[in-house]
Amino acid sequence: MIFSRTTALFALASGVYAQSQYTSTGTAAVAKAAATALTLSPTSSVAGLTFDRFVQIWLENENYSAAIKNTNLAYLASLGITLTNYFAITHPSQPNYVAAVGGSTFGIADDNTHYISSSTKTIVDLLEDAGVSWSLYQEDMPYSGFEANYVNQKTGANDYMRKHNPLMSYNSVTSNTDRLAKSKNFTMFYEDLDNNKLPQWMFITPNMTNDGHDSSLATAGTWSRNFLTPLLSNESFNTDRTLIILTFDEGLTTGTNQVYAVLLGGAVSSAKVGTTDGTAYNHYSLLKTVETNWNLGSLGENDVDATAFF
Ligand SMILES: *[C@@H]1O[C@H](CO)[C@@H](O)[C@H](O)[C@H]1NC(C)=O
Ligand SMILES: *[C@@H]1O[C@H](CO)[C@@H](O)[C@H](O)[C@H]1NC(C)=O
Ligand SMILES: *[C@@H]1O[C@H](CO)[C@@H](O)[C@H](O)[C@H]1NC(C)=O
Ligand SMILES: *[C@@H]1O[C@H](CO)[C@@H](O)[C@H](O)[C@H]1NC(C)=O
What is the per-residue pLDDT for 138? Answer: 98
Residue 4: pLDDT over 80: no
* Ligand 2 mutation target, pool 161, 210, 214, most atoms within 8 A of CB: 210
Q: What is the dihedral of CA 116, 280, 54, 36, to 10 degrees?
A: -30
What is the per-residue pLDDT for 243? Answer: 98
**Higher-pLDDT residue of 109, 15:** 109
Q: What percent of the chain has pLDDT over 70?
A: 93
Q: What is the dihedral of CA 209, 212, 216, 221, to 10 degrees?
A: 110
Question: Is 178 annotated as catalytic?
Answer: no
Residue range 155-159: average pLDDT? 96
CATH of 39-293, one of 3.40.50.1000, 2.60.120.200, 3.60.20.10, 3.40.720.10: 3.40.720.10
Residue 297: pLDDT over 80: yes
Cα of 191 from ligand 2 centre, angstroms: 18
What is the per-residue pLDDT for 22? Answer: 83
What is the per-residue pLDDT for 24? Answer: 84
Query: What is the residue with the minimal CA distance to atom 7 of ligand 3?
Result: 194
CA dist 17 and 84 (Å) reads: 43
Residue range 113-128: average pLDDT? 97
Going by pLDDT thresholds of 50, 70 and 90, the confidence category of residue 145 is very high
CA distances from 167 to 98, 139, 145, 264 (A): 7, 15, 11, 24
Which residues, 6+ apart, have CB-to-CB distance to 260 below 8 Å? 59, 62, 64, 67, 68, 73, 77, 86, 246, 247, 248
Cα of 131 from ligand 1 centre, angstroms: 26
Residue range 202-216: average pLDDT? 98
Ligand nearest to the CA of 191: 3
Residue 233: pLDDT over 70: yes
CA dist 168 and 174 (Å) reads: 6
pLDDT digits (tens, 9 = 90+) for 131-143: 999 999 999 999 9
Residue 6: pLDDT over 50: no
* Ligand 4 mutation target, pool 61, 62, 65, 68, most atoms within 8 A of CB: 65
The residues facing 201 across adjacent strands are: 54, 134
Cα of 72 from ligand 4 centre, angstroms: 20
CA dist 189 and 187 (Å) reads: 5
* Ligand 1 mutation target, pool 185, 189, 197, most atoms within 8 A of CB: 185
b/e string for 217-242 if b means 16 or more Cβ within 10 A? bebbbbbbbebbeebbeeeebbeebb
Residue 250: pLDDT over 70: yes
pLDDT digits (tens, 9 = 90+) for 7-31: 333 333 333 444 456 888 889 989 9
**Higher-pLDDT residue of 114, 12:** 114
CA dist 286 and 100 (Å) reads: 7
Residue range 189-214: average pLDDT? 98
In short, whether 234's Cβ falls inside 6 Å of ligand 3 is yes
Beta carbons of 80 and 268 less than 8 angstroms apart: yes
Q: What percent of the chain has pLDDT over 90?
A: 88
Residue 251: pLDDT over 90: yes
Residue range 181-191: average pLDDT? 98
What is the per-residue pLDDT for 121? Answer: 98
Catalytic residue among 140, 194, 211, 214: 214
Looking at this protein, which amino acid is placed at residue 88? A
In short, whether 85's Cβ falls inside 6 Å of ligand 4 is no
DSSP 214: T
**Higher-pLDDT residue of 1, 100:** 100
Residue range 39-46: average pLDDT? 98
